[in-house]
Chains A and B, each alone.
Chain A
């Protein structure tokens, strides 16, 4: 099983619909992140959480919300999806307690808003 699992892998939704992307991890990491990637561009940070009680906005949080249900789960919601939210979404985890502050990414959720 993957260390960081994202569901669904692909989703097509209509404008105005509410949609939730889910992320779960088995790494035991406290820190979790949601990024979005548009074609030909790098990843941009949407929200991040350093522990269950901590939620922080990233550089492009407008139109998104998150929920950290447990250490292992971090969900991203689009309350009212719009076409320019069509993108590839990645969840990631990290553990600052380790010497190598590497991030572990999920396989991504490809979201299309029509």
Chain B
């Protein structure tokens, strides 16, 4: 599976959009980009995933560049409850079907 690179930490003002970047320059054609988050030692929670096209759900939007080498998770109106560690994961659809977590980005939403 391709590796990902994320900034270790970010701050965002409450009510503003939080944009979390992820680099995955070695991504292959059949690998999806997944985002999970972990709130204070709870189990990680799935947010969104995508292959090529931009995706949006009730939690967030995922913007994937045309060359698929990077992506951005957008929380449109960050709240204090969005403070968490956000993991960007690139995963092959074949083989072990495992998720490999890096250290993620610690997002702190500031009042």
**Docked-complex contact A107 and B43, CB < 8 angstroms:** yes
Q: Tell whether B17 is near chain A: CB-to-CB under 8 Å.
A: no
Task: Report yes or no: B42 in contact with A42, Cβ–Cβ below 8 A.
Answer: no
Bitwise, A69-106 to B at CB < 8 A (1) or not (0) is 00000000000000000001010101010001111111
Picked from B41, B91, B98, the residue with its CB within 8 Å of the CB of A88 is B41
- Docked-complex contact B103 and A45, CB < 8 angstroms: no
User: In the complex, what's the smallest C-beta–C-beta distance from A70 to chain B, in angstroms?
Assistant: 20
**Minimum CB–CB distance for A63 against chain B, Å:** 19
Report yes or no: B42 in contact with A58, Cβ–Cβ below 8 A: no
How many angstroms between the C-alpha atoms of A106 and B34 in the bound complex? 19
Whether the pair A48, B98 counts as a contact (CB closer than 8 A) is yes
Partner of B43 from the list A48, A56, A108 (CB cut-off 8 Å) is: A108
Given contacts A94-B97, A96-B97, contact A105 B103 (CB under 8 A): no
| Cross-interface CB contact of A48 among B44, B49, B91, B96, cutoff 8 Å | B96
A90 to B43, CA, bound (A): 7
**Interface mask (A28-57 → B, CB under 8 Å = 1, otherwise 0):** 000101010000111111001010000010
B interface residues (Cβ-Cβ under 8 A, vs A):
32, 34, 36, 41-46, 49, 87, 91, 93, 96-104
Q: Which residues of A contact B (CB under 8 A)?
A: 4, 31, 33, 35, 40-45, 48, 50, 56, 58, 88, 90, 92, 94, 96, 100-108, 110
